[in-house]
Structure 1
Amino acid sequence: MRPPCEIVVWYVIPTIRSELAKELLNLGMKQKEISELLDITQPAVSQYISDKRGHGIKFNDETQELIKEFAKDLMDGKLDQSGIISRICDVCRKVKTEEIVCQLHKEKDNIPLNCNACMGSEAKDGSHPCG
């Protein structure tokens, strides 16, 4: 059984990169510029843009808006490497509140319905929404 953080590495982060690369492309950046900005290879950018990589998750409108704002700030040169990492973490935290990690964990690893290991949001009473 994989820990929830492995789900983030395999599914969430690639989808964030894919959506971010697409937004940057829409803003007029070239694939080579995107690869340098995100510190990934140009072939990886191509795969993200063509949905060969990072396409297994559908983010909600609020998360998509965070990614659009992130892309605009990148395009405008407002973020250094530390800022880029921080913003990726912000988007990832937002995704976790959508229970995507929990759903993927249960789907990919056949986790029992009463599992409480995922990193999703907690209800006000402290209970976990997946368990």
Structure 2
Amino acid sequence: MKPLCELVSGQVLPTIRAMVVKDLVKRYELSQVEVAKKLGITQPAVSQYLSALRGKRELEKKLMKSIGDDIRSLADDVASGKLSQADVVRRYCAICSLMKKKGIFQDFGSG
């Protein structure tokens, strides 16, 4: 059994980021450079999220069912410019806390 922090940093956070990136590009038609600036990541990282080199597709499908509204809300706030990069990080943490509260991590054998 892996520690929860290892699961989150290795699988969950990259998948959440991929979901936010895809939403910003698809719904808001932001460029990869714009998304990178808003999220505090590099343009190549955005490209990798879009091409599924980062994040897990199966996990993404599962998370969309349980926290999809929270991901869309985060993307909405990022697109509107309401959030600083530090605020984005805090929102990632809030989403992970919500996942733990909902028992989502138990499905991974952690939490």
TM-score, normalised with respect to structure 1: 0.72
**Does the 8 Å CA contact 2:17/2:49 hold for their aligned counterparts?**
yes
**Matches of 2:20 and 2:9, distance apart in 1:** 16
- How far did residue 63 of structure 1 move? 0.7
Specify which structure has the higher proportion of helix.
2
Structure 1 residues 7 and 43: alpha-carbon distance in aligned structure 2, compared to 1, 3 A threshold: same
The answer on 1:46 being equivalent to 2:50 is no
* Bigger mean CA offset, 36-45 vs 64-73: 36-45
- Which amino acid letter does the alignment assign opposite residue 41 of structure 1? T
Task: Give the equivalent residue in structure 2 for 1:25.
Answer: 25
Which protein, 1 or 2, shows the higher relative CO under an 8 Å CA cutoff with sep ≥ 6?
A: 2
- Which amino acid letter does the alignment assign opposite residue 82 of structure 1? A
The answer on 1:74 being equivalent to 2:78 is yes
Query: Percent identity at matched positions?
Result: 37
**Matches of 2:99 and 2:64, distance apart in 1:** 9
* Ranges in structure 1 where 5+ consecutive residues have no aligned partner: 107-117, 120-131
Secondary structure of 1:79's partner? coil
Query: Whose Rg is larger?
Result: 1
Instruction: Map residues 1-131 of structure 1 onto 2, 5 A cutoff.
Output: 2-26=2-26, 27-55=28-56, 56-57=58-59, 58-104=62-108, 106=109, 118-119=110-111
RMSD: 1.8
TM-score, normalised with respect to structure 2: 0.83
